[in-house]
């Protein structure tokens, strides 16, 4: 049997139906090694406070639902082990920089709206090729590597909670949306920079970043949004003076049937287009 340690959880509570302002409640729990904050919340809800509300889903740091302000830092509750915090009192509050819906539930609508505004999808000049593809777009390992870390974003919103600029300027697009703007404009298959300018080439865009770097520290997936914002600035500036990255209009692989003939000993990946 593993040793347990008694930990007091100070949890910020707020019910819009009954409370005018939030308040703090404390719950004591015997915490074994390995228990996460999310598991602790589940145990508190099961044994002590059935009305406690939060948002979570996968329990494995993939869905990004359980972002919370744990000991005054934005973290995923499912990835944070209680005893690793090394405090006898663990404070849990909803993510800052968001409206508080109830208890530990933030309103993530601004995150989603800003994310949608930058058109987070591949925009290709040849719309016919997008609608009726005749081949697959090429992306070399090097090209993929240049944007790889930015594709790991799980939209948990911790970066916006950590961002001091978002705290003072709610219109700031924020690290998540700006990093995704770079993730797509930096993608060799994308030609959509000019389609995104209306959303990103604005006062509340990348130039409003104060370069605190808190977003990069908060990201649970190791993404560096602060770096992405600098890369996005470079992309925008080079484009504005006519030195934008030239991308091939149609970058397609040769028909896979020909590849099969050339490389007999290796099985090619299954066709995704043309079947």
Residues that bind other proteins (CB under 8 A): 165, 168-170, 197, 201-203, 205, 207-208, 233, 236-237, 239-241
User: Based on CB atoms, which residue is closest to other proteins, 143 or 169?
Assistant: 169
The distance of Cα 262 from the centroid of its chain, to the nearest Å, equals 41
Closest distance to other proteins from the beta carbon of 38 (Å): 34
> Across-strand partners of 28?
8
User: How far apart, in whole angstroms, are the C-alpha atoms of residue 222 and residue 70?
Assistant: 18
Closest CA to 10 of 47, 46, 49, 64: 49
User: Based on CB atoms, which residue is closest to other proteins, 92 or 231?
Assistant: 231
User: Based on CB atoms, which residue is closest to other proteins, 244 or 255?
Assistant: 244
Burial (CB count <10 Å: 0-12, 13-18, 19+), residue 176: buried
> Across-strand partners of 25?
11
Tokens of residue 8, six digits: 């007091």
User: How far apart, in whole angstroms, are the C-alpha atoms of residue 272 and residue 241?
Assistant: 38
**Residue 121 neighbours by CB distance under 10 Å:** 10
Closest distance to other proteins from the beta carbon of 243 (Å): 12
Helix (H) or strand (E) holding 44: helix 37-47
User: How far apart, in whole angstroms, are the C-alpha atoms of residue 14 and residue 23?
Assistant: 7
Closest distance to other proteins from the beta carbon of 220 (Å): 28
User: Based on CB atoms, which residue is closest to other proteins, 121 or 207?
Assistant: 207
Closest distance to other proteins from the beta carbon of 200 (Å): 9
Closest distance to other proteins from the beta carbon of 207 (Å): 4
User: Based on CB atoms, which residue is closest to other proteins, 237 or 263?
Assistant: 237
User: Based on CB atoms, which residue is closest to other proteins, 237 or 259?
Assistant: 237
In this structure, what are the phi and psi dihedrals at residue 67, rounded to the nearest 5 degrees?
-65, 130
DSSP 3-state of 46:
helix
Closest distance to other proteins from the beta carbon of 198 (Å): 10
Closest distance to other proteins from the beta carbon of 169 (Å): 5
User: Based on CB atoms, which residue is closest to other proteins, 123 or 200?
Assistant: 200
């Amino acid at each position: 049997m593993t040793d347990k340690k008694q930990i007091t959880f100070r949890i910020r509570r707020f019910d819009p139906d009954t409370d005018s302002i939030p308040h703090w409640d404390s719950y004591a729990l015997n915490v074994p090694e390995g228990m996460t904050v999310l598991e602790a919340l589940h145990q508190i809800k099961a044994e002590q406070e059935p009305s406690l509300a939060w948002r979570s889903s996968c329990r494995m740091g993939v869905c990004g639902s359980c972002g919370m302000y744990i000991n005054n830092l934005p973290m995923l509750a499912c990835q944070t082990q209680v005893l690793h915090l090394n405090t006898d009192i663990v404070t849990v509050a909803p993510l800052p920089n968001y409206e508080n819906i109830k208890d530990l539930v933030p309103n993530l609508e601004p995150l989603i709206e800003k994310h949608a505004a930058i058109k987070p999808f591949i925009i290709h000049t040849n719309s016919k090729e997008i609608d009726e593809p005749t081949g697959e777009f090429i992306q070399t390992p090097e090209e993929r590597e240049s944007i790889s870390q930015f594709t790991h974003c799980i939209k948990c919103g911790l970066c916006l909670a950590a961002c001091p600029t978002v705290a003072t300027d709610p219109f700031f697009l924020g690290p998540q949306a700006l990093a995704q703007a770079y993730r797509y404009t930096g993608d060799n298959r994308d030609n959509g920079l000019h389609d995104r300018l209306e959303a990103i080439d604005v006062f509340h865009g990348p130039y409003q970043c104060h370069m605190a770097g808190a977003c990069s520290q908060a990201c649970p997936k190791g993404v560096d949004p602060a770096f992405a914002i600098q890369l996005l600035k470079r992309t925008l500036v080079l484009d504005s003076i006519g030195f934008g990255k030239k991308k091939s209009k149609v970058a397609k692989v040769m028909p896979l049937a020909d590849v099969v003939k050339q490389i007999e000993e290796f099985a090619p990946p299954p066709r995704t287009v043309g079947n």
